[in-house]
Every structure is written in C-alpha cells, then in structure tokens.
Structure 1
Amino acid sequence: MVTKTAPPSTSSAGSAPQPGSIPATPAVQRFDLPPPAPGTSSSHPLVLQIEKTPDPDGLQIFTAITTCVLTALAGLIAWRQWRTSHDTLRFSLFQKRFEIYDATRIFIGDIVMSGNTSKEGTAKFLTATLGTRWLFNEKLASYMQELYDQAQLLEAKRLEIEDEDHDVERGKLRVQATNLVNYFVDQQKALNDRFKSHMPTIGA
C-alpha cells in the first residue's frame, strides 16, 4: 500500500518562522522610471540637480567693494608717507631755527650778565645767525642786525669810558652804556615772543 504524504503546509504570512527553518526572503518590488521624453534632459525630473549659475550682479558688487577697499588702503598709505615726510621736514626746520634762537639767547644773556660784549661771543652770534633771512624772514634778519649793531655800540662806549679822562664825560658814557645794557635786558624778556610765531609745531 502506498502512503501519500500530505504536502507541507505553508505558514501564513503573519506566522513566526519555526525553529531551525530559513526565513523566506521578501520579494522586492522594482519600480522603473519611464524614459525621458525626446528633446528633454537626460536626467529624470525626479532627480534633483544643483547647478551653479553665474550671478553677474553679485560679481559686480564684489568687484566694486574690493576696488574701493584697495583704493582706500592705497590712499591711506600715501597719506601716511606724506605725513611722515611732512613731519620730518618740519622737525628739520625746527632744529635749524632753534639753533638761531639759542645762539641769540646766549648772546643777549652774556651781555646782560657781564654788561659788555666779547669778540668770541659776537663771532659765535654772527656765525649762528647767518641763515636767519632764509630760515625766517627779512624782519627777523633785520632784528639780528639790530642786536649786532647795539652790541658794537656798547663795546665802543666801554672803550670810550676807558679812554676818557674827564669824569663828567665818563659819567655820560657810563649812562649811555647802561642804557644799552638795559636795551638787551628788554630784548631778553621779549625774545620768546619774537621767535614763538616762527617755530613750527611738530605733528601739526
């Protein structure tokens, strides 16, 4: 007798697999996209494409800003160079003018202290003030000449006092010499005011 074995029953879709059995692989459904229409891009409409498109307005703005920044930077550098050169020239002028001022101050101070002039002091004064006309102006150059003339007059009065034998005349000469010394005292007080307006301020 032939025994018919019943075919193995398949488990329902929701039943758990039996121990030792290999689970069935679920079927994969494939969805094929339809081909692109003739004359269109090969990329499918559902595929996102990111393309870089030129932005002429943005490029012009960037170029303009860059040009402005570079121009401003170049202008700042040029201004700093001019400022440095300007201050250097003013400082050089200040030094040369101060040498004349200092020589004049020493010359007047020596006369006030001693009541007379000296050949050495007069020679130093003349040498130091030779450039007054070009470094200052004609007015101050004339003032330097006036100081020299008054100093020479004072020296002449001192020599006359030494040579004068008459007391009366000698007294008159001494008064004149004293007046000349007082002239230099007044110049000593006013010297700063005469030079102040001609001395350049550094960094101005």
Structure 2
Amino acid sequence: MSEVPAWIQILQALLTPAIALAVGVIAYRQWRTAHEKVMLDLFEKRFEVFMSVREIVSKGGIRRLFRDPGLPNEVVARGRFLFDEDVTAQLQEVHRLCGQVETGSTTASGELYDLFPSIMAKMDPYMRMTHKRNTMREWLLERNRIRLSYADEKQQ
C-alpha cells in the first residue's frame, strides 16, 4: 500500500473548513443584499406616501386638482402600514383637513400648509437611508472602539 504524504493529508483536513467558511461568507453577503433590497423597497413606499402628502399640500387639499381624487384616503391607508402612530395621526389630520377644504372651510388650506413642516419632521427618521456598507476592517475597528469604551483605564 502506498501512503499519502503528510502535506496532502493536511490539505485534505483544511479543505472542508475552508469550503464551509467560503459558503458562510457567500450566505452572509446574500443576506446583506436581500436586507438592503428590503430597506430600499420600504424607503420607496414611504417616499411615495411623502410625495402624495406633498402633492396634497401643494394643491391646497382641493381634490379635483389631484391626479387621483381618492389620494387623501390612499395616503392614510398606505401610511398606516409604513409608519408608526405619530405619523399616522398626522396623515389622518391631512385627510380631515382635505375634507374641510371640500366642505368650504376657508382656514383648512392654510392649516394644511402649516401642518406640512411638522409632518416632514415626523417622517424624517423613517426616510433616512443610514445603512452604509462597511468593509471587514471598518467593522472590526468599530467593534474594537466599542470594546475599548467599556474599559476602566485607557488602553493603547
């Protein structure tokens, strides 16, 4: 019988963990890509709601000027699944003011305009795309900085 050289046995032993590590890296990268796509899709849906609110405010809440007369209803319906209660309450207020504009209120259009900066401020945290792609080195440096922040004495 011929014996297999030691270096080949070592390579055979290291091949399985190397393949497992490569598969793990590929799986992680695919998960990151899918996660970023979900975040982008969510941003796009939220941005559509924001642009619809902007259209409502810019046209003074007058339904006949909208691209779709049911726009205030759609904004509330879509917004309730994309935002928390704070933004949803503001969207319902926009809907209420649009109804008042239709019934002839002279102050509702101005209230709608005055409400817009507050809506923008509440939507702002939802509209930020704060995900930045870190390299492995940046990630390790950040983790080390966090670890060092827990130390009693300053480490070098």
TM-score of Structure 1 vs Structure 2, range by shorter chain: 0.5 to 0.7
1:181 equivalent in structure 2: 109
| Match among 40, 54, 59 for residue 110 of structure 1 | 59
Bigger drift between 88-97 and 119-128 goes to 119-128
Deviates more, 1:89-98 or 1:133-142: 133-142
Q: Flag the 1:125–1:150 CA change in 2: closer, same or farther, 3 A.
A: closer
SS in 1 for 2:70: helix
- Give the AA of the match of 1:105: R
- CA–CA separation in structure 2 for the residues paired with 1:110 and 1:96: 21
Matching residue of 2:20: 71
Note the C-alpha offset of 1:73.
Answer: 0.9
| Closer/same/farther in 2, CA of residues 135 and 200 from structure 1, 3 Å limit | same
1:80 aligns with 2:8: no
- Mark the structure with the bigger radius of gyration: 1
Alignment map for 1:5-20 (pairs within 5 Å): none
Q: How many angstroms apart in 1 are the aligned matches of 2:104 and 2:51?
A: 26
Deviations 1:45-72 (A, max 9, x none): xxxxxxx86555x455323432332122
1:90 to 39, 43, 63: 39
Q: Hey, what's the Cα distance between the residues in 2 that align with 1:131 and 1:182?
A: 24
State the identity %.
23
SS of the equivalent of 1:154 reads helix
Q: Which runs of 5+ in 2 are unaligned?
A: 133-156
> Which structure dedicates a bigger proportion of its chain to helix?
2
Alignment RMSD, CA only? Answer: 2.7
How far did residue 119 of structure 1 move?
Answer: 4.0
Aligned pairs for 1:39-188 within 5 A: 55-56=5-6, 58-111=7-60, 117-119=62-64, 121=66, 122-158=69-105, 177-178=106-107, 180-188=108-116
The verdict on how the C-alpha distance between 1:189 and 1:143 changes in structure 2, with shifts beyond 3 A counting, is closer
| CA gap 1:143/1:128 in 2 versus in 1, 3 angstroms | closer
Count of matched residue pairs: 129
CA 1:134–1:190 in structure 2 vs 1: closer, same or farther (change >3 Å)? same
Runs (4+) off by over 4 Å: 52-56
Provide TM-score, normalisation by structure 2: 0.66
Task: Tell me what 1:27 maps to.
Answer: none
Aligned partner of 2:120 in structure 1 is: 192
CA contact (8 A) 2:62 2:101 kept: yes
Q: Deviations over 1:74-99 (max 9, x none)?
A: 11110111111111211211111111
